[in-house]
Amino acid sequence: MDYSYPFSIDWTTDEIIDVVTFFEGIELAYEKGIRREDMMFRYRRFKEIVPSIAEEKTYFREFEEESGYASFPVIKEMKVRNDNDLISIQKK
């Protein structure tokens, strides 16, 4: 992977790590699949760091431009699945 993850210089080191972990979960959903429970944990932590929907969309857009992975389909799928389900998204 030859791209960078979006982050804010205002975040702590732990917050940056947690946001990167969230985006790694998005990658997993496309590459191998990720358990819904795991993705939900990562997303909840991401929302603690980025509570604004507008900011969330900005980071999602930046990540997609860098990586080619769209975050929204993963989040949408996460919301309709059960805890033990595997989220697996096909890249277009």
Q: Which residues are CB-contacts of 72 (< 8 A; sequence separation ≥ 6)?
A: 60
Q: How many CA within 13 A on the CB side of residue 76?
A: 5
Query: pLDDT of 29-71, one tens digit each?
Result: 999 999 999 999 999 999 999 999 999 999 999 999 999 999 9
* Burial classification of residue 78, based on how many CB atoms lie within 10 Å of its CB (0-12 exposed, 13-18 middle, 19 or more buried): buried
The CATH label, of 3.30.200.20, 1.10.220.80, 3.40.50.300, 3.40.710.10, for the domain at 13-71 is 1.10.220.80
CB of 83 closer than 8 Å to CB of 36: yes
**pTM of the full structure:** 0.92
